[in-house]
């Protein structure tokens, strides 16, 4: 497992066991994991993550793909502060997450990290545009129409689609909504947990190409 993301690179995790990365070189990267171990439940058993050191650079997009149960979700959730590691440190924009309250962690995460969940986590009662605007709303930030349309356009959504509800869209389009929602805050890094899992191979290739596409600035 492991990669260090330069701006605009696409990373894969394809192995079935966690392999330690020896050095963290990019200490100024927005997300840095150092010797992160995660065990679920009681002390015994194989850890989901075993002393993983990794950094994710500004403007990087990281998609994890691979064997079920290899720790992909655990890795990204620890990196994004959604799960607390059993040992080791996770720094988000230089701040050790362990020292922050849940509320501060959530705020930092919403502003700096874009997360595309495997099961998308779209809210069915909200329209597409409301789903895309959600991270801004949660931070009491204004979600301008132009910003929403721009994020939607980047993933090929627009027009009447924005006023529909997720259930009225295809699986591939729903995934694009989830990606646009991750882009709306212009995060430092984007994580996608098996972004192609729910899609047929043809659509999956399209989504990956989309995410790897040209970037205009350092941030998304």
In the complex, the smallest distance separating the C-beta of residue 68 from ligand ADP, rounded to whole angstroms, is: 4
For the chain, what is the largest distance between any 2 Cα atoms, rounded to a whole number of angstroms?
A: 53
Scanning residues 10 to 49, which ones bind ligand ADP (CB under 6 A)?
Answer: 40-41, 48
Judged by CB, which is closer to ligand ADP: 72, or 110?
72
Integer Cα distance of 166 and 66 in angstroms: 27
Q: Is 73 in the site for Mg ion (CB under 5 A)?
A: yes
Scanning residues 107 to 146, which ones bind ligand ADP (CB under 6 A)?
Answer: none
Integer Cα distance of 37 and 220 in angstroms: 29
Integer Cα distance of 203 and 171 in angstroms: 9
The bridge status of strand 31-38 relative to strand 87-92 is antiparallel
Scanning residues 61 to 80, which ones bind ligand ADP (CB under 6 A)?
Answer: 68-74
In the complex, the smallest distance separating the C-beta of residue 158 from ligand ADP, rounded to whole angstroms, is: 32
Judged by CB, which is closer to ligand ADP: 50, or 147?
50
- Which strand ranges, in their side-by-side order, compose the sheet holding 60-64? 10-11, 60-64, 189-193, 113-116
Integer Cα distance of 92 and 108 in angstroms: 8
For residue 193, give both structure tokens.
Answer: 């947990």
Q: Is 55 in the site for ligand ADP (CB under 6 A)?
A: no
In the complex, the smallest distance separating the C-beta of residue 56 from ligand ADP, rounded to whole angstroms, is: 17
Residue span 187-206 as binding mask against ligand ADP, x where in contact by CB under 6 A, dash where not: --------------------
Contacts with ligand ADP by CB under 6 A lie at 40-41, 48, 68-74
Instruction: Kindly list the residues in this chain that would bind Mg ion in the complex (CB under 5 A).
Output: 72-73
């Amino acid at each position: 497992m492991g990669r260090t993301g330069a701006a605009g690179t696409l990373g894969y995790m394809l192995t079935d066991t966690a392999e330690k990365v020896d050095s963290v070189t990019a200490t100024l990267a927005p997300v840095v994991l150092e010797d992160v171990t995660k065990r679920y439940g009681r002390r015994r058993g194989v850890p989901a993550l075993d002393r993983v050191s990794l950094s994710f650079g500004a403007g990087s997009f990281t998609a994890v793909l691979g064997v079920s149960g290899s720790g992909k979700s655990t890795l990204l959730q620890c990196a994004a502060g959604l799960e607390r590691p059993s040992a080791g440190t996770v720094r988000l924009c230089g701040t050790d997450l362990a020292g922050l309250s849940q509320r501060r962690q959530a705020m930092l995460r919403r502003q700096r990290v874009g997360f595309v969940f495997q099961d998308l986590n779209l809210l069915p009662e909200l329209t597409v545009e409301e789903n895309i605007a959600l991270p801004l709303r949660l931070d009491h930030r204004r979600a301008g129409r132009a910003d929403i349309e721009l994020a939607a356009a980047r993933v090929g959504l627009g027009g009447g689609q924005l006023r529909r509800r997720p259930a009225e869209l295809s699986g591939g389009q729903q995934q694009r909504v989830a990606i646009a929602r991750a882009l709306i805050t212009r995060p430092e890094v984007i994580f996608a947990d098996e972004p192609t899992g729910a899609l047929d191979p043809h659509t999956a290739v399209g989504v990956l190409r989309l995410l790897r596409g040209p970037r205009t600035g350092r941030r998304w």
